[in-house]
Structure 1
Amino acid sequence: MPQPTPASPPALNSFDEFTRLDEVVLGRAENYNAHHIDPSWRLFFFDNVEPVLDRCTSPSQDGLLPIPPQVVEELHEDIAGLADALTGCGVNVLRPAAPGKDVDIRSPHWDARATPPLNVRDQTIILGTTIVETAPHVRARIFENDLLKPLFYRYYRPGTNWLSMPRPALSRDSLDSSYFTRQGLDVTRATDGERAGNIEGLSLEMVFDGAQCMRLGRDVLVNVANHNHEFALRWLRDNLPDLRFHRLDAMADNHIDSVLVPLRPGLMLLRSPDYLKYLPKDMQSWDVIYAPETDDSNFPDYGDLGFVIPIGSRYMDINLLSIDENTVVVNSLYPELIAVLESRGFTVVPVRHRHRRLFGGGFHCFTLDTVRRGGPEDYLS
């Protein structure tokens, strides 16, 4: 008896953050039992970890800061809840390959404990019909996308375009700390103990995360806070000339999806009015929902679990995921935002996400939307 022909996957198509979502990659966190807090990690999360750097510079001889098992178990529960909610909204949910346990990685210049593919938004951008692998800031994440490659080949085989930024060596002098030094901040506590080797003649490299972008059809907003990011913006413009890339001048130190979320054409969620000035002129006239204040009762109390570091911002819950222009997935632990969005006519799908600050990611970070129904529309004219 002839076997049925497997259904072809839908064509990769994701130009924006808000048109109807049909297929998405959801990250996974198996064996996420420690942060490897080398200087690249400490510099990347500097804003949030600086207050406790004196307590975590050398948590162990191997540079690992353990994550309490209870926290990891609850993270798995919350990811499962997100998967169920997305499926319930009619979205096809794909998952990366499972990470191995305690995978140690090494380059000729440094070594690190590999990070599981949880925040899949960071190392990849889907720009229309092209997969773009980016150039990691954090050494522990350098091989993270290997676990997404089975999915990338799923799209590539039918003809999808697939590009990769040059892989950074992330040697001693690769990372630019000027975003912080321009503010008069001393980053030496983050870089103390650097054991990575240097490469003669190599200094600042192209280093960039996908979550530094927001997509609006033909237009892509790109946060550029230092020379690492300048190289990446040039690369994007050179390799994707059909898109218009708008430089946001240091809107944040790196990621912007806990600062700005376009909800539909003409309406955005923004952390505060202070950020309007960073946006393109055509976007400054959009209607704005400002993130409502929340209080500490919406965040877990880790007092009984030993020393943990909240690497993510208190504004992490702005980091929502749109199912379509009228439906959004929001952390149930941010009732203030849910109330505001519902008052503006949105259907809110509440999903619990307890440990967003400890793992540095919200629902937008945890997902990579590969198929949306929108196209290369012109939303900024």
Structure 2
Amino acid sequence: MTEPAPAVSSFDEWTPLHEAVVGRAEHYTAHHVDASWLLFFFDNVAPALTGETAAQNLLPVRDQLVDELNEDIAGLVDALASCGVRVHRPAAPGKDIDIRSPHWEARATPPLNVRDQTIVFGDTIVETAPHVRARIFENDLLKPIFYRYYGAGAKWVSMPRPALARGSLDDSYFRRQGIDVSRATDAEMALSIDGLGLEMIFDGAQCMRLGRDVLVNVANHNHELALRWLRETFPQLRFHRLNGIADNHIDSVVVPLRPGLMLLRSPEYLTYLPKAMHSWEVVYAPETDDGNFPDYSDLGFVIPIGSRYMDINVLSVDENTVIVNSLYPELITLLERRRFTVIPVRHRHRRLFGGGFHCFTLDTVRSGGCEDYLD
């Protein structure tokens, strides 16, 4: 009989971590290339994108790389367990799964980056509204965990499920910068829904939690609708709108390490943050050597969907302990100089699968409460 989970309680990114969900990558055998995927990863895939690539349905991922990814995830699970963290795992997809709606078809993505489709606010599990069609049923594999938490007293709500039909996605973030995304939008094969227009579309990784305060990245109208929903659903929290600090996720841009100290990609991002955070100490991400990333040239055509800054995506076990990719020694050295205990865990293929340790985890129980850290 499965041991019941305690109630959910997680308000921030740094107080002692007691329970977390860690994703899994079985059957991550391909990237499904459609307009939703291309727009979501456009900053990173555009340099490698060709008309031929955009016309493909699937970009295959070699079994060797998936096996190595699973080895590295196992290392993360072991590291968390060694810190006394109770780890939950999603159910594994038993095969490659093709999904369809009345408006589109896709190859389903396994539940690897569990931070993306869910966010926890205190005692409430919030399922968000996916950007990428291939991910729309991903949380079904987390439902056994969510039901155990619900049985233990957690609240559980969901944003309205987007249809993700033609015309649902807003590309204004790119258009405002004069970036031509026609190579992505020209790949659109989905059907439209008369009168639908832009939908509420939003990932949990667009938020960063600081007790009562939550940073929310809003880069387009899809996100604006979600921010309105969050404010209406959680009036007890203060949501701070970050005006397009990135096109979507922010956990490789700004990562609070503890009250008054944050890891930031570069100084230019400070102006996006609430004024109360301008007085915080900042650890700026050090440059890393390209040799720290795998060379896929001998594997044929491989698109790096994640950015070079993926390793900023660290996970705090507590205010003094951080899990960092062992392949980012420059950051390990910098944090150790700041007297952090760094737990190095290897993660080789972060650019290929588009996730770091913060992405791979959903922290469901931390010690912290609904504190005012920005007053």
1:212 aligned partner: 206
Q: Does 1:326 align with 2:323?
A: no
Q: Does 1:36 align with 2:56?
A: no
Which ranges of structure 2 fall in alignment gaps of 5 or more residues?
A: none
Q: Does 1:309 align with 2:306?
A: no
Q: Secondary structure at the match of 1:115?
A: coil
Which letter maps to 1:273?
P
2:278 aligned partner: 284
1:105 aligned partner: 99
Which stretches of structure 1, 4 residues or more, deviate above 3 A after TM superposition?
5-8
Q: CA deviation at 1:58?
A: 2.3
Q: CA RMSD in A?
A: 0.9
Which letter maps to 1:47?
D
- Given the alignment, which residue of 117, 121, 126 partners 1:123? 117
Q: Secondary structure at the match of 1:361?
A: coil
Q: Secondary structure at the match of 1:220?
A: strand
Choose 50-59 or 238-247, whichever is displaced more.
Answer: 50-59
Superimposed CA distance per residue, residues 38-65 of structure 1 (whole angstroms, 9 cap, x where no aligned partner): 1100000000001111152123xxx000
2:6·2:152 contact (CA, 8 Å) conserved in 1? no
Q: Does 1:52 align with 2:71?
A: no
2:4·2:148 contact (CA, 8 Å) conserved in 1? no
Q: CA deviation at 1:6?
A: 7.1
Taking the aligned partners of 2:7 and 2:366, their CA distance within structure 1 comes to 10
Which letter maps to 1:41?
W
2:20·2:87 contact (CA, 8 Å) conserved in 1? yes
TM-score (structure 2 length as normaliser): 0.99
Q: CA deviation at 1:326?
A: 0.1
Taking the aligned partners of 1:138 and 1:7, their CA distance within structure 2 comes to 33
Which letter maps to 2:138?
E
Taking the aligned partners of 1:345 and 1:97, their CA distance within structure 2 comes to 38
Which letter maps to 1:147?
L
Q: Secondary structure at the match of 2:263?
A: strand
1:216-235 aligned at under 5 Å gives the runs 216-235=210-229
Q: CA deviation at 1:232?
A: 0.1
Which letter maps to 1:102?
D
Which letter maps to 1:146?
D
1:245-260 aligned at under 5 Å gives the runs 245-260=239-254
Taking the aligned partners of 1:8 and 1:356, their CA distance within structure 2 comes to 33
Which ranges of structure 1 fall in alignment gaps of 5 or more residues?
A: none
- Given the alignment, which residue of 290, 294, 299 partners 1:300? 294
Aligned length: 374
Superimposed CA distance per residue, residues 139-161 of structure 1 (whole angstroms, 9 cap, x where no aligned partner): 00000000000000011012211
2:173 aligned partner: 179
Q: Secondary structure at the match of 1:365?
A: helix
Q: Secondary structure at the match of 1:10?
A: coil
Q: CA deviation at 1:8?
A: 4.0
Distance verdict in 2 for CA 1:8–1:70, change over 3 Å: closer
Q: Does 1:156 align with 2:156?
A: no
TM-score (structure 1 length as normaliser): 0.97
Taking the aligned partners of 1:39 and 1:193, their CA distance within structure 2 comes to 5
Which letter maps to 2:40?
F
Identity of aligned residues (%): 76
Q: CA deviation at 1:23?
A: 0.3
Taking the aligned partners of 2:68 and 2:319, their CA distance within structure 1 comes to 30
- Given the alignment, which residue of 342, 362, 365 partners 1:348? 342
Q: CA deviation at 1:193?
A: 2.7
2:12 aligned partner: 16
Q: CA deviation at 1:7?
A: 5.2
Q: Does 1:95 align with 2:118?
A: no
Which letter maps to 2:266?
S
Taking the aligned partners of 1:305 and 1:70, their CA distance within structure 2 comes to 11
Taking the aligned partners of 2:156 and 2:101, their CA distance within structure 1 comes to 25
Superimposed CA distance per residue, residues 11-56 of structure 1 (whole angstroms, 9 cap, x where no aligned partner): 2000000000000000000011000011100000000001111152
Q: Secondary structure at the match of 2:307?
A: coil
Taking the aligned partners of 1:85 and 1:127, their CA distance within structure 2 comes to 25
1:196 aligned partner: 190
1:65 aligned partner: 59
Q: Does 1:76 align with 2:73?
A: no
2:103·2:191 contact (CA, 8 Å) conserved in 1? yes
Which letter maps to 2:270?
L
Choose 8-17 or 349-358, whichever is displaced more.
Answer: 8-17
Which letter maps to 1:278?
Y
Taking the aligned partners of 1:195 and 1:158, their CA distance within structure 2 comes to 43
Which letter maps to 1:134?
T
